[in-house]
A and B are shown apart, each in its own frame.
Chain A
Amino acid sequence: MSSGEGGRPLAEIIELPDAQARSEANLRGPARVPRPTARRRRPTACQPASTRVLSGWGRTAPSVATVVRPADGRQVLELLARASEPSDGTPGSGSHPSQLAPAGRIIARGLGRSYGDAAQRAGGLVVDTSALDSLGPIDPDRGLVEVGSGVGLDALIRHALPKGWFVPVTPGTRHVTVGGAVAADVHGKNHHLEGSFCSHVAEIALATPTGMHVVGPDGAPEEAALFWATAGGMGLTGVVVSATVRLVPVETSWMLVDTERFDDLDTLMATMEASDDRYRYSVAWVDCSARRGPLGRSVLTRGDHAPRAALGTGRRGRRAVALASPSGLRVPLPAPSRLVNSHIVRAFNEAWFRRAPRHQTAALQPLDAFFYPLDGLGDWNLLYGRAGFVQYQFAVGPDGGELVRRAIQSTTEAGAPSSLAVLKRFGPSDPGPLSFPIAGWTLALDFPVGPPGLPGVLDRLDEMVAEAGGRVYLAKDARLRPELLGAMYPRAAELLAARLSVDPTLSLGSDLSRRLGLDDLGRPGDDDPGPGGGLAGA
């Protein structure tokens, strides 16, 4: 990259609406309250930049950033080069607070399904990857496919399934991008046997302020290090432009599912420990809202892709790889704040439990009903109303069963029962320094924001998780204290080292990285009192 190019204003790299160009200019002038313009508009190809309020899927902690939608990897590189320049400002304005702001001005954003603040940057630049949407041909022998980072798993599945391929790992929604799946190193119901997403990625193209890096797990040591730092690195090493994913062969779009109902948590966990390894996919739903009976009545569903022979020759057999079209059902508006209240949650959980068969084996189920039960209702996060919700997911070792129990118990006792709880067993950790899984258990809990006891009880839970050698999932986090990050992710310094190797000024950063102090860990001069030191009592 030539250094002269880096000096170009944003408006020259990507066409900006006039208002945006003005507010760019304002950044160097005195601070003024801007008149907000066209905040809700999605950027289009011809008018790619706008200021938008962004938040995660939980709809908490919104912040405003300039959103740009680069058309290709070259434009991503130019944006990064520009963001990594030192903020020189005009002479004499060095005291302006915006110039003392910490580094980290740019971050990528896919479909915005991280629950917290991972894909937003207050006052910074957010790279909307939706135009990086190339879908390459599928290698018929090994299932390798190169896709743009902005491609959603939904599009990838629709591309691959008719040809007999499926994504190797999928989270509970197909509305995540491939870039996001790499950045969060997402896991699925098959983690206990097959690991997380990046274990099935052969190569990525990573745009950084120092240029494009094409890296994979099998490359030279420093390339592999950059690859693994990016796996679960929450977008902080650079912007993933494309990834080569190793798909898995399937014969049909149906699943063969075993379902079991349990009246208490202990039996559920014992069953999972004893026989999960016989199933490729496994997940349990736990009812946290029941008032009577033992803790943790639950439904365990486990299965694998159905072979063609299982379908017979009827209608199912003819539509072996059909995928249901989206239902089109959406939640239109944020619900009134009390809609997801304890009564509704209890009724929903009751129905879910009773709907499940006590014991059923080898039932045929459509693939999307098995993997994506919540995708049937678009924008379901709006059910939690204006205040939004937080998801709390932690992983803990195989002895962490007691912590799982206490997490459910303590939140219920604090008057904040989880509206939805999902329990699963993890296989061995993946190689990424910030990759989430730990061999053992993982529990995910959903809480509407509102109960006064909730923030405190989650803080205490964090401490118990850290003490037990566990960790919380950063792709879902919106509230962890930075003090506990080091204990939960002891290899966080490796991420920082990898970042510095390709982004020496740490121009990449998100609200999450700033909140958790990921940009400061182990940096020289950490104990520096800061630029305000000399002003004390002036």
Chain B
Amino acid sequence: MLDAFGHPQSALVLGGTSDIATALLGALVADRCRTVVLAGRDDGRLRAAAARLADAGATSVETVTFDATRPEDADRVVARCLAAAGGQVDLAVMAVGRLDQPRRDGLDPADVAAVATVNFAWPAAALASLAGHLCEQGQGRIVVLSSVAGVRVRPANFPYGAAKRGIDAFALALADEVAGSGVSVHVVRPGFVHSKMTAGRRAAPFAVTPAEVAEAVRRGIERDERIIWVPGFLRWVFVGMRLLPPALWRRLPA
């Protein structure tokens, strides 16, 4: 169950080997989370992450593999994950996502399709399934890792940004949909995060570490914040960004 501060005793992470997910779970297990389900693509890495969490004090850690390019399976994957958690879960984290390929000339339609599927179609289907299960259990929190890339989509990575914008909007609408059902949805909008996903890319200003994102998410859940910006002042930076005329926006350094 969630306690008075929204701290979970059980957590499910879809995209369980992402650096942000790893940092968040580390903090949750150090607190009072004892049941963890990690779902992801790579079985070996999932098992390694599960072993670390078990060492850190989790009493039940299960892993589930899935393929995020197949949104039609999302409902079944979610059901499997919940079963692995013992039927119920206090906190579900949606951390599925990938960046688009760096491009030299033109867009690759196949890559655009894959990015849209992995960042939007699969997470949206899974969130719909999760919300249904959590509403039925009468309590729960859903955290969706979005990105500032979706707040105003930049030319540099717009297939990714556009898909993130989609899942961000979907999650916020879902938050309204489930209001009053005992379930809440929190959207996390980090800036540039130093992680596996962004390795080799040039860091944007105000870059943060996965641990900082994890701490912000924990505080955001505690305070029941609907949108969690990391770092917090990006909220105000993007008020300005949204107002920039397109001619200036295009010229911003990538």
Query: What B residues does A36 contact at CB under 8 A?
Result: 179-181
What are 15 A-to-B residue pairs whose CB atoms are below 8 Å?
A33-B131, A63-B182, A98-B87, A101-B86, A123-B138, A455-B222, A478-B4, A479-B7, A482-B9, A511-B1, A531-B83, A535-B80, A536-B64, A537-B43, A538-B64
Q: A97 and B88: CB pair below 8 A?
A: yes
Query: What A residues does B62 contact at CB under 8 A?
Result: 532-533, 535-536
Q: CB of A32 within 8 A of chain B?
A: yes
Query: What A residues does B234 contact at CB under 8 A?
Result: none
**Distance between A111 CB and nearest chain B CB, rounded to angstroms:** 20
Q: B219 and A62: CB pair below 8 A?
A: no
Query: What A residues does B2 contact at CB under 8 A?
Result: 61
User: Binary interface profile of A, 496-530, with partner B (CB < 8 Å = 1, else 0)?
Assistant: 00000000000000010011000000000000011
Query: What A residues does B144 contact at CB under 8 A?
Result: none
Q: A32 and B3: CB pair below 8 A?
A: no
**Distance between B138 CB and nearest chain A CB, rounded to angstroms:** 3
How many residues of B sit at the interface, in one of the four size bands? 35 or more
Q: A532 and B85: CB pair below 8 A?
A: yes
Number of A interface residues at 8 Å Cβ cutoff, please give it: 56
User: Binary interface profile of B, 210-240, with partner A (CB < 8 Å = 1, else 0)?
Assistant: 0000000001001110000000000000000
From 27 to 83 in chain A, residues with beta carbon under 8 angstroms from any chain B beta carbon are 27, 30-34, 36, 39, 53, 58, 60-65
Query: What A residues does B137 contact at CB under 8 A?
Result: 98, 101, 122-123
Q: CB of B209 within 8 A of chain A?
A: no
Q: Which residue of chain B has the shortest Cβ distance to A56 in the bound complex?
A: B4
**Distance between B8 CB and nearest chain A CB, rounded to angstroms:** 10
Q: Is the interface of B mostly helix, strand, loop or mixed?
A: mixed
Q: CB of A3 within 8 A of chain B?
A: no
Partner of A537, one of B7, B63, B133: B63
User: Binary interface profile of A, 434-455, with partner B (CB < 8 Å = 1, else 0)?
Assistant: 0000000000000001101011
Q: CB of A99 within 8 A of chain B?
A: yes
Interface of A toward B, CB cutoff 8 Å:
26-27, 30-34, 36, 39, 53, 58, 60-65, 95-102, 116-117, 121-124, 386-388, 390, 449-450, 452, 454-455, 478-479, 481-482, 511, 514-515, 529-533, 535-538
**Distance between B221 CB and nearest chain A CB, rounded to angstroms:** 11
Q: Given A64-B138, A537-B63, 17 other A-B contacts at CB below 8 A?
A: A33-B174, A34-B135, A39-B180, A53-B180, A61-B3, A63-B138, A98-B87, A100-B86, A122-B138, A122-B182, A123-B137, A390-B4, A479-B7, A514-B1, A535-B80, A536-B63, A537-B65
Q: A97 and B87: CB pair below 8 A?
A: yes
**Distance between B235 CB and nearest chain A CB, rounded to angstroms:** 18
Partner of B135, one of A33, A99, A454, A537: A33
Query: What B residues does A60 contact at CB under 8 A?
Result: 3-5
Q: B4 and A116: CB pair below 8 A?
A: yes
Q: CB of B136 within 8 A of chain A?
A: yes
Query: What A residues does B74 contact at CB under 8 A?
Result: none
Q: CB of B13 within 8 A of chain A?
A: no
- Complex formed: what's the CA distance from A493 to B72 in Å? 46
**Distance between A524 CB and nearest chain B CB, rounded to angstroms:** 17
Partner of A99, one of B87, B179, B219: B87
Q: CB of B60 within 8 A of chain A?
A: yes
Q: Which residue of chain A has the shortest Cβ distance to B57 in the bound complex?
A: A483
- Complex formed: what's the CA distance from A455 to B82 in Å? 27
Query: What A residues does B6 contact at CB under 8 A?
Result: 61
